[in-house]
């Protein structure tokens, strides 16, 4: 069992009281996935309190449990702190302080997790790499990622998200990136932030956190260059622009996109992605530009990225209807930009019919109607048939030409059997919507074989 944290390190990092002498090999915040040897942190959430699961954690082999409830008991394996979330964050700071490798912070309106996964793939070709799992990018996900970082890590990729002003700066201060990556600037969280410029200002706080001489890897087409330039000047960092234009420091040239994937030239080398979508090619270019920001070779990373595939809910293509049709699963989350990109990918996939199943985009506030309706031209261009659920997508559905309309329903669960009943051999169906729209309720029965050819 490798030592992630010792008793002495836990005490020093958190200022807590721990009577036992022990070693922890992992960190858990959920007893359902806890492994023997883990430190279980009893976090308190809106609907749960980890202190209710202390006994379960110890029974399952937790080496230590971090608690702040004075009624938790006096087991020598209990690490008593003033507050467990603060304790987790203290571990995150301590993990960053002892890390001597190269740190990357990733943010952006769209593509954070995909780009983070590509960076993990690329860096892993060069040495021991650690990255956030899933979309662990908030006030508990970021310190958890850092606290779980193995001692031998050479490269770490931290994903940093937000939906309100002022959330990125403290996370960036914890991560202290050597290179900051901004994937896109778009309308995600527009209802909370008020403008694209405000979103860009918030994202640029990651650039402002760079050390002197650090590098910010950004797209060449965001339209908010002045905001990035100010943030880079604040930290004495350098901007490295990536994209298709002549003003890009790293250009994608000879870009060819097909249903099988993408091919392009980057920094004098040919890159092949075996996953379709122009947005994925751009994400891969951001990842490669990050390696170049560290003056690292990219040949092994290019070979690794050729084997990379999108994850479930993030662009994975899977067979349905006994292999006679295909599902483009984009169900994890959505924004206007990501739906537009997914529809462009849908258009690449050979099909008898291309079907889009869309749920609402959340957190758009007063901009919700206009943002949703902006998708109508894209749907008309790239989909043969459209199914929608949730209130705002009703406006989109009503604005479509009659021959494009499938069915609208109030929620995903009600729409799922209707979509199943309409599918035929030769169809490719895209499913996408914000997490709160529960588009997995449509994906799950399709993958389970509920639709028949």
Binding site, by residue number, is 108-114
First to last CA, the chain: 50
CA distances from 272 to 45, 190, 203, 243, 280 (A): 43, 34, 29, 16, 11
CA 301 – CA 313 distance, rounded (Å): 24
Length of the chain: 453
Nearest to 387 by CA among 344, 428, 430: 430
Whether 62 and 40 have beta carbons less than 8 Å apart is answered as yes
Closest by CA to 214, choosing from 181, 178, 250, is 178
Among 211, 192, 228, 226, smallest CA distance to 108 is for 228
> Helix H segments across 99-239?
112-124, 141-147, 168-175, 190-193, 196-203, 205-208, 225-235
The DSSP secondary-structure symbol of 337 reads H
Annotated binding site for ATP: 108-114
Q: Distance between CA 357 and CA 55 in Å, rounded?
A: 44
DSSP letter (8 states) at residue 362 = P
Distance CA(95)–CA(9), nearest Å, equals 10
Contact (CB, 8 A) for 371 and 190: yes
Helices within 374-431 (DSSP H only): 376-382, 391-399, 412-422
């Amino acid at each position: 069992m490798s030592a992630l944290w010792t008793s002495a390190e836990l005490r020093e990092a958190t200022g807590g009281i721990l009577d036992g002498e022990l070693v922890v090999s992992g960190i858990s915040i959920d007893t359902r996935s806890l492994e023997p040897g883990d430190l279980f942190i009893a976090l308190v959430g809106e609907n749960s309190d980890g202190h209710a699961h202390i006994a379960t954690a110890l029974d399952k082999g937790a080496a230590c449990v971090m608690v702040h409830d004075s009624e938790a008991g006096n087991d020598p394996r209990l690490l008593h702190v003033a507050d467990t979330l603060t304790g987790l964050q203290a571990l995150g700071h301590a993990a960053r302080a002892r890390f001597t490798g190269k740190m990357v912070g990733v943010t952006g309106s769209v593509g954070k997790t995909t780009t983070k996964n590509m960076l993990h793939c690329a860096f892993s070709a060069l040495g021991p790499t650690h990255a956030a799992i899933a979309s662990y990018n908030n006030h508990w996900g970021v310190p958890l990622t850092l606290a779980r970082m193995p001692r031998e890590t050479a490269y770490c990729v931290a994903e940093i998200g937000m939906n309100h002003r002022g959330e990125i700066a403290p996370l960036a201060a914890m991560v202290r990136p050597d290179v900051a990556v901004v994937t896109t600037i778009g309308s995600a969280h527009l209802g909370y932030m008020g403008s694209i410029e405000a979103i860009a200002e918030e994202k640029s706080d990651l650039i402002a956190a760079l050390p002197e001489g650090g590098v910010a890897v950004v797209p060449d087409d965001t339209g908010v260059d002045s905001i990035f330039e100010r943030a880079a000047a604040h930290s004495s960092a350098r901007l490295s622009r990536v994209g298709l234009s002549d003003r890009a420091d790293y250009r994608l040239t000879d870009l060819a996109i097909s249903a099988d994937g993408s091919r392009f030239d980057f920094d004098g080398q040919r890159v092949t992605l075996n996953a379709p979508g122009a947005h994925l090619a751009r994400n891969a270019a951001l990842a490669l530009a990050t390696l170049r920001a560290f003056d690292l070779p990219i040949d092994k990373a290019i070979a690794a990225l050729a084997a990379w595939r999108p994850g479930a809910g993030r662009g994975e293509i899977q067979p349905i209807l006994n292999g006679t049709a295909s599902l483009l699963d984009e169900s994890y989350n959505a924004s206007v930009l990501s739906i537009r990109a997914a529809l462009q990918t849908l258009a690449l996939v050979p099909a008898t019919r291309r079907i889009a199943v869309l749920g609402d985009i959340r957190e758009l506030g007063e901009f919700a109607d206009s943002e949703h309706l902006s998708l109508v031209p894209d749907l008309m261009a790239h989909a043969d048939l459209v199914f929608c659920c949730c209130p705002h997508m009703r406006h989109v559905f009503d604005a479509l030409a009659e021959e494009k309309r499938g069915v609208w329903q109030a929620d995903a669960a009600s729409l799922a059997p209707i979509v199943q009943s309409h599918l035929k051999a030769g169809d490719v169906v895209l499913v996408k919507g914000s997490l709160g729209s529960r588009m997995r309720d449509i994906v799950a029965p399709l993958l389970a074989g509920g639709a028949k050819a």
